[in-house]
Every structure is written in structure tokens, then in C-alpha cells.
Amino acid sequence: MVIKLTEEIEMNDDESSKLWFYDKKNIIDCIPNLVGFSENKIKLRVKNFFFLNKTLEYEITSFVGGGYIEHKFKNEDSFATLLITFNKNRKIISLSLSYSGKFERQMSKILEEMMKNLKRKYLEQKTVNKKGETISSKLSSLSFVAKLVSTSKLIYSDKLDSGKIDITPFIEDILHKFSQYPIIYISGFNEENTFRLLFVNGELKGVYIKISDKEFYSEEELLKLKGLFHVSVYANLLKSSMVI
């Protein structure tokens, strides 16, 4: 069985649209359940049996034609293709996302969300004034997070059960323990929720929280996070002016 999804988006600028969809970082940024990625590979987390999770790794290859861009995701057991075609006459971008292989039920949900994200993020980037972009909104982008982590060192990693330990005191303790570092990035995730926090000299500069596919940019939402989180703390090695 082959899963296939299609979508159309209104196009204003042919060249800028091609540049956006050709950038693999933008495509990767739209993929849910991501647990790891590089320029040419991604790792996805899917539920296998009952509460067991499985990580799937895909190699990415990209092609550019006269009026289309194609991104292929492939491993030994499955194959996915994202085809983007640009119709100058109709001023329409057509998206086609197909998948065949194992874990069809799980991948169907992932592809549906990916398609929604592609349309939403493409339209958002056309209207967002980059000068007014906040650190919190940047933390929603995996490409920004990847750059942040690549220029940082991991200084702490542990699990946090929000049912036993309040998140706010936990974070305050982290900041106190590693106060010698001017820039600290804290990330946490579980199956349903994600949080990303950026501190400069102990002051919260950016917050991104995702609860059951809803995104928030307010620290008050930290109190709503529930469950067991995998937490990583990074000390950034750049000057604060280069980060914010």
C-alpha cells in the first residue's frame, strides 16, 4: 500500500519559493517525531507495539529540475518522496508526499502533520518580519536549535519526572549549578511535550513549549508540562551578541 498526500499553496515569488523548499533544513524543520538529524540523515521515533518505541533512520537525497524539487527519504524497509512543483502560470505550488514500506499506520500520521507544517511554515516565513523575530520564535526552528547545539557543549543530561519534581525549581537549580556559563540552553522532551529555554547571564531570553502539538512562547506554560522528560543542558561557547 502506498500513502499519498497532496496540497496546493498560492505562490507569489517563484525563485524565493524554490530556495525555501530546496533548503533541507526547512523541510527537516517540518517533520514531527524527530529525535536526530544531520544534513543528509534524519531519525524518527514511532510507536512499535503498545508502549514500545522504535527509531527509524532515513537517508535524504535531493534533486532539482526546471520546475520541480524532489526530496527522497530512504532506508532498507521504506521509502518516502516529497515532490514540489511550481506552476508559474497558475501561481501555485503543488506538494505531493508519498510513502511505502513498514509502519504505514504510524507514518500516515507523521506525513499528515508534516504536510500541514510545510504549508504553515512556508506561509509564515513569507509574512514574518525577520527584524522583529524573537528568540522564542527562533527556538521553534530546528535549524536554529541545531546551530545553537553545534556551538555548545553538553554539560548536563538527566531525566526529570514533573510529577515528583517541579520544573521551575529544577531549572533554577541548574542555573545556579552552572552559573559560570553566560549562555545556557536547556531542552527537554517526551512523547507528547517539548520545552526549549535559552538563558543569558541567568535571564530567560527565549522560551518555546509544545504541548500535544500546540505551540506556546510563555514561561507560564512550563507549569502545564507533565510526564517524564529527557533533559539536556548546553553551555554555548559564542558571545551572546552572536546568539541573540
pLDDT of res. 22: 87
Question: What confidence score (pLDDT) does residue 157 get?
Answer: 93
The low-confidence residues of the chain, meaning pLDDT below 50, are 129
What is the pLDDT at residue 8?
A: 94
pLDDT of residue 175: 94
pLDDT at 172: 92
- The pLDDT of residue 129 is 43
pLDDT value, residue 93:
95
pLDDT at 96: 97
Predicted pLDDT of residue 128: 55
Q: Extract the C-alpha cell encoding 218.
A: 510563555
8 within 8 A of 94, measured Cβ to Cβ: yes
pLDDT of residue 244: 60
Digit-coded pLDDT (tens) for 109-123 = 999 999 999 999 888
Report the distance separating Cα 226 and Cα 147, nearest Å: 28
pLDDT of residue 97: 96
Can you list the domains of the chain with their CATH numbers? Answer: 2-127 (3.30.530.20), 135-243 (no CATH)
pLDDT for residue 146: 82
